[in-house]
Structure 1
Amino acid sequence: MFSSPFLLVFPFFLLACFLLYWAGARHAYTRRPEAGNGDPNTFDWHFFVPCRDEEAVVGTTVERLRADHPRAHVWVIDDDSDDRTGAIVAGLAETDRRVHLVSRVRPDARLGKGAALNAAYDELNQFLSKDADRERVVVCVIDADGQLDPHALERVSGPAGFGDPETGGVQVSVHMRNAGDPRPLGEDSGRLRNAFARLLVRMQDMEFSVSNAGMQLLRGRTGSVGLGGNGQFTRLAALDRIAAAERRPWQRGALLEDYELGLHMILNGDRISHIADTWVSQEGLPHARRFLTQRTRWAQGNLQCVRYAPRIVSSRHYGGKGVLETLYTFLQPVAHLVTLALCAVMFVLLGLTAAQDGVGEAFGGMLALWPLVLGLAVVSVLPFVLWGPVYRRDRASDRSLLSALLWGLALWLYAYHLFPASARGFVRMLRGRNGWAKTRRNAEVVTSGPVAIES
């Protein structure tokens, strides 16, 4: 009953694709050249900080951006907040002419992060003089709780970034700054809950700072680097080119407005680079429910982006490697869904075999294959484990090698969240549910009611 070639071959095909992608990402990360510095004074910097009910963090974020990057302008988009976000930013703007408040009110507000960023783009256009060199104006999107490396602008201005005139966008690495917090849930929560939350945040930091950074550096070699929602830098001229073609830089209704922006940028002929030698930090999510909701949104956004596949395949700006890498990224949630379906089919077939021929006959054949199963398990787990020492070297040098290897093992288990997230994202898309509430910050007081994740 297990004679279907598809059932037998497909898992091996997925494993081969994963191993090839992992090998390329790890090599790109561990063998990357150091990004050189440039002169940030040759550019005009503007930070966009989209906010909705962010009074717990926005003041600190704006003050730090202004202190670390005194020549930059900070544009805070208040998306019709119910709290004091707008008042806090307005107070800062009164004493600092480089702080700007972009106020939005319903019904024009709360239409998504992309719409909020488009509003800031419009305000910036009105602010700049007509003779401004828009190739030298750089926009950077920072989350309301984001903290940017004080030396980031030097790296981004360098030859790996906007020092190259062909570069239209730069994405920097993302770190979770609460990865070392011993009690992410606070003193009132028990040891077990805090231990799980601590591990969850650590896995997010490991995922972003080494694994995802490696993927991005690999994409740098294939010409398909993606932009993220935090720490994305773009030339204003590149945004103009997208607006000319698509009516606006960021697309409304997009659940991955950041990644979608990068697709449009490459389709227009601009190059995107990833710089792993500088960073933006944010808070990792210590709550499993919020985390799963966030990843559901990302999976759903990936599925939405599949519609760009024909344009990418036919684009002269995507080479063969870039097309393959982008399609691989698009189809990850689809592969997870197919894998879940295959597992369900195999369990059904196993049950039917057990009912027809007996339990011994059904499981006997599987037990005879234990060397193959063990070999596949090792090959599947080892790539995750090998990220552990790399992460320890770059992000946790004070921890033991054993801890790093255990973190790598935990990263393998952590990766299984992709399967329920992909399934939930697919169901939401089928039901036409595309709306998402804002991320509740860790510093906010918890209130009753559902909370979904926007970023």
Structure 2
Amino acid sequence: MVFVFGRFLVYWAGSRHAYRHNAPAEPGDPAAFQWHLVIPCRDEEAVVTQTLDGLRAAAPEAHLWVIDDDSEDTTRDLVLAAADRDPRVHLVQRRRPHARIGKGAALNAAYREISAWLPPSADRSRVVIGVVDADGQLEPGTLGQVCNPKALGREDTGAVQIGVRMRNADDELPLPGRGRAANALARALVRMQDVEFRANNAGMQLLRRRTGSVGLGGNGQFVRLTALDSLTVEEGRAGRPWPERALLEDYESGLDLRLAGWRLTHVTETNVSQEGLISVRRFLTQRTRWAQGNMQCLRYTGRVLRSPHYTPAGKAEVMYTFLQPVVCVLLVLLLPLSLAITAAGLVLFPAETADFQLRYGPWMLLAFVLATLPMVFWGLAYRRHVHPDRSRLTGLLWGVLVWLYAYHLFVVATRAAARMLLGRNGWAKTRRNAEKVTVGAPTALES
């Protein structure tokens, strides 16, 4: 237990230091690159038109490639209508049985189409593929920040991950027509997701930037085309740089790029916005998939530890990330075990057990509280950097909520472990807030 809390505190301290001492970079020249933004879509009629309009406004020089993963709604028609108005909008059409088998397979289809579309004379080192969620919106000036001198402005940089924020974090009525309690819970859930990405995760990524182990996300990653090309030379991966049938194809692709010798970095000067989930059920479904995908990454352990491209600090950081859900599951299993041992002790050795609990129980509880209190810092840091107009008391409240919010990791890690034991490794799309019912029948990979 001491080791678990110790490793958490070391990681937290490193993230906090990196977050507090981040130095912004000057933007680069987007005209030096050719930009292709890829938007994977599956039954996204609720958001796709708004997304295309927003991306065109934020990145007028970019080509927009929408991957329709055999949608059963009007997604395809909406994209074709947009393509009629804008020659820089392209449709990548996928059909079952090759569709709906995971985001990695969809991204690989776009990679092949973009490669075929480019002229043979194209300088592929100057072609950048960005991945944006179907509800994603880039801030103006994003492309300039992605190619700044510390990011793609360096020729050894293979990929860049930008920050993520929840654009509905200030929505006062996320559930119109519902009561105060339901809306209060939804507001808190979205706010915690925003704090998580803009403070906690930002600190983690800045720490990773120092250790050389930056992770890529499913929304807001930008990859140099030659970096993707380098992954396709591996046996069995022709035309498939992204891992297929992986639950965390984004993070795994970052591992593959780093193992291939490419530098990855994180840019905090710009963000991609997305919808924060307002449903606890959908949130837990999404995070269970993430935790299960994290556990799948354990198969990279040997390659990372043997790689000359990871520093010792980078290897330690990757191992921390790999083992986080595993440690959560072990702690969940240890709780009933420790209670059972205590109960047995009270029956068999009542005096000695009671004396032990009175002597050491309060110290153990105090250690647990002190070990988790640092999570409160992220609420205060979020207020200072994102909402300086809010009171310090509000920041403290957000910090306490972050501390409580972090316990969802134990729930989703346990669910993920159970799914793996049952052989349930399928990928299921997280429904948007605007979707009232599930569109289409489940596929073989959904569960």
Bucket of the pairwise TM-score, normalised by the shorter protein: over 0.9
Find out whether 1:357 has 2:357 as its counterpart: no
Give the CA deviation at 1:375: 3.5
Aligned counterparts of 2:354 and 2:376: Cα–Cα separation in 1: 30
Superimposed CA distance per residue, residues 132-180 of structure 1 (whole angstroms, 9 cap, x where no aligned partner): 0111000000000001111111111111211111110000011011111
Find out whether 1:313 has 2:305 as its counterpart: yes
Unaligned ranges ≥5, structure 1: 1-10
The number of equivalent residue pairs is: 442
Q: Which moved more, 1:391-400 or 1:81-90?
A: 391-400
Residue 410 of structure 2 corresponds to which residue in structure 1?
Answer: 419
Find out whether 1:322 has 2:311 as its counterpart: no
Give the CA deviation at 1:364: 4.0
Superimposed CA distance per residue, residues 293-335 of structure 1 (whole angstroms, 9 cap, x where no aligned partner): 1111111101101001111111111111111110110011111
Residue 55 of structure 2 corresponds to which residue in structure 1?
Answer: 65
Give the CA deviation at 1:355: 2.0
Matches within 5 A, 1:6-405: 11-186=1-176, 188-245=177-234, 246-247=237-238, 248-358=240-350, 362-405=353-396
Aligned counterparts of 1:327 and 1:291: Cα–Cα separation in 2: 25
Whether the aligned pair in 2 keeps the contact of 1:173 and 1:213 (CA below 8 Å) is yes
Residue 3 of structure 1 corresponds to which residue in structure 2?
Answer: none
Aligned counterparts of 1:95 and 1:148: Cα–Cα separation in 2: 21
Distance 1:78 1:201, change over 3 A: same
Superimposed CA distance per residue, residues 110-130 of structure 1 (whole angstroms, 9 cap, x where no aligned partner): 111110100000100111000
Whether the aligned pair in 1 keeps the contact of 2:72 and 2:440 (CA below 8 Å) is no
Distance 1:333 1:450, change over 3 A: farther
Whether the aligned pair in 2 keeps the contact of 1:439 and 1:451 (CA below 8 Å) is no
Aligned counterparts of 1:398 and 1:212: Cα–Cα separation in 2: 22
Describe the SS at the equivalent of 1:434. Answer: coil
TM-score normalized with structure 1 length: 0.94
Aligned counterparts of 1:148 and 1:402: Cα–Cα separation in 2: 31
Find out whether 1:431 has 2:397 as its counterpart: no
Aligned counterparts of 2:285 and 2:58: Cα–Cα separation in 1: 33
Give the CA deviation at 1:98: 0.3
Give the CA deviation at 1:370: 5.0
Superimposed CA distance per residue, residues 383-405 of structure 1 (whole angstroms, 9 cap, x where no aligned partner): 11111221001222222111111
Give the CA deviation at 1:381: 3.2
Distance 1:135 1:449, change over 3 A: closer
Distance 1:309 1:135, change over 3 A: same
Aligned counterparts of 1:22 and 1:71: Cα–Cα separation in 2: 39
Whether the aligned pair in 2 keeps the contact of 1:167 and 1:270 (CA below 8 Å) is yes
Describe the SS at the equivalent of 2:286. Answer: helix
Aligned counterparts of 1:295 and 1:59: Cα–Cα separation in 2: 27
Give the CA deviation at 1:445: 2.4
After the TM superposition, which segments of 4 or more aligned residues of structure 1 sit over 6 Å from their partners? 448-454
Distance 1:450 1:103, change over 3 A: closer
Give the CA deviation at 1:447: 5.1
Aligned counterparts of 2:262 and 2:186: Cα–Cα separation in 1: 40
Aligned counterparts of 1:284 and 1:53: Cα–Cα separation in 2: 18
Unaligned ranges ≥5, structure 2: none
Superimposed CA distance per residue, residues 219-275 of structure 1 (whole angstroms, 9 cap, x where no aligned partner): 111110000000000000000001112331111110000000000000100010001
TM-score normalized with structure 2 length: 0.96
Describe the SS at the equivalent of 1:331. Answer: helix
Whether the aligned pair in 1 keeps the contact of 2:205 and 2:266 (CA below 8 Å) is yes
Percent of paired sites with the same residue: 55
Describe the SS at the equivalent of 2:213. Answer: coil
Distance 1:448 1:121, change over 3 A: closer
Aligned counterparts of 1:66 and 1:37: Cα–Cα separation in 2: 20
Q: Which moved more, 1:244-253 or 1:313-322?
A: 244-253
Whether the aligned pair in 2 keeps the contact of 1:175 and 1:279 (CA below 8 Å) is yes
Superimposed CA distance per residue, residues 350-399 of structure 1 (whole angstroms, 9 cap, x where no aligned partner): 111122234x6544422322552353144223211111221001222222
Q: Which moved more, 1:125-134 or 1:444-453?
A: 444-453
